[in-house]
Amino acid sequence: MQTKIGIIGGSGLYDIDGLENPKWVNINSPWGVPSDVILTGELGGVDVAFLPRHGRGHVHSPSTVPYRANIDALKRLGCTDVISVSACGSFRTDMAPGDFVIVSDFIDRTFAREKSFFGTGCVAHVSVAHPVCARLGDAVELAGHAVGVNIHRGGTYLAMEGPQFSSLAESKLYREVWHCDVIGMTNMPEAKLAREAELCYASVAMITDYDSWHPDHGSVDISDIIATLGANSTAAKTMVADIAVRLGKARDVCPCGCDRALDFAIMTAPDARDPDLLAKLDAVAGRVL
C-alpha cells in the first residue's frame, strides 16, 4: 500500500509550497460539495492532496465547513492519512502564541454539525477513545523539531461551535475546571469523521492567542491572530513537506488500528441496511460493506 497524505489547511493556510506535478481536482462526493477543489501532487515523491478547510478566500465558517464531504473526498482520492493544520487559542502560559501543539485528545462542544457518515439504515459505532494517530504524531513531532518550531507533544483541544470566541466564564471553565490546553472551532467533527473513514488523523494546532482568560492579554483580537498566522504559515508549510518525506511512499498497516476502525463497528444487520445509504458509504466504508 502507498501513502497518500491529505492535508487540511486551516485559517491562514490556503495552499502549500514546493508541490511537484500540481493539479487542482474537483471531487464529486455524495456527502455534498467539499470546501474547495483539491490540490494534488507530490512532496518529496510522496502523494499528497491539499484541501483548504474554509475554502480559498475563507468562505466557510466553522459551522458550515462541509466536514463529511471533505473527509469523503480525501478518502475517495485514495488518501491514507490526514494532517490537519489549525489555528487555536492557548489555555497555558507555557504554550505561547507562535508555538505548535500536536493535539492528543478533544472535548467536543460543537452542536450544529453533521457528525457521522452513518445513521438510519446503517448504524455504526467507532471508538474515539484515542482520536488521533500516534504514528502520525511521531512524524509531526520529528518534523517540528527539524524545522525548528517550538512544538509540544500532547494537548487537549476544546472544540467549540463559534463563530464567536469564548466568554471569560467559558474560557475559565475550559482552563481551570476541564484542564483543556487549547481551543479551536474545527477539529470536531473532522477527527471523528476521519476515524469513521479509517483515515489516520493528526492535528497540528498553531497557537495564535491566549483566548480570553489571560489577565495580561485581554480578549482575542482577530488582527493579532492573522498576524501570528502570517508569521507561522511558512513554518507550517515546511513542516508539512518534512512530514511527507518522513512518512515515505511505502505504507504498512497502522499500528494504532485507525485503518481498521470499522472492523466491528457496524450494528445494522446486512438485510436491514438501506441501499441508498450504503451507496453513499462506498468510499468511507467500502472495505467492510
Ligand X SMILES: CSC[C@H]1O[C@H](OP(=O)(O)O)[C@H](O)[C@@H]1O
Ligand Y SMILES: Nc1ncnc2[nH]cnc12
Burial of 234 (0-12, 13-18, 19+ CB in 10 A): exposed
Q: Does 9 bind ligand Y (CB under 6 A)?
A: no
From ligand X, ligand Y, none, interface partner of 36 (C-beta below 5 to 8 A by class): none
Comparing every residue's Cβ against ligand X, the nearest one is 10
Residues binding ligand X: what is the number (CB under 6 A)? 12
Q: How far is the CB of 83 from ligand Y (least distance, A)?
A: 18
Q: 221 catalytic, yes or no? A: no
Question: Which span (97-105, 138-146, 181-189, 190-198) binds ligand Y, by CB under 6 A?
Answer: 181-189
Q: Does 62 bind ligand X (CB under 6 A)?
A: yes
Could you give the dihedral angle defined by the CA atoms of residues 24, 199, 55 and 225, in that order, rounded to the nearest 10 degrees? -130
Region for 7 from its dihedrals, namely left if φ exceeds 0, alpha if ψ lies in -120 to 50, beta otherwise: beta
Out of 124, 140, 185, 281, the only residue in the binding site for ligand Y (CB under 6 A) is: 185
- DSSP string for residues in 39-60: EEEEETTEEEEEEETTTTTT--
- Is 269 known to sit in a ligand binding site? no
Q: Which of 165, 127, 99, 149 is nearest to 261 (CA)?
A: 127
What is the per-residue burial (b if ≥16 Cβ within 10 Å, else e) of 54-82? bbeeeebebeebbbbbbbbbbbbbebbbb
From ligand X, ligand Y, none, interface partner of 89 (C-beta below 5 to 8 A by class): ligand Y
Catalytic residue among 211, 216, 224, 282: 211
Measure Cα distances from 172 to 4, 103, 166, 183 in Å.
Answer: 40, 20, 9, 12
Q: What would the grid cell of residue 250 be?
A: 511505502
Q: What would the grid cell of residue 166 be?
A: 469564548
- x/- site string to ligand X, residues 115 to 154, per CB under 6 A? ----------------------------------------
Closer residue to ligand Y (CB): 109 or 273: 109
- Is 211 known to sit in a ligand binding site? yes
Q: 209 catalytic, yes or no? A: yes
Q: Given the rule CB under 6 A, which residues bind ligand Y?
A: 87-89, 160, 165, 183-185, 208-209, 211, 220, 225
Active site residues: 209, 211
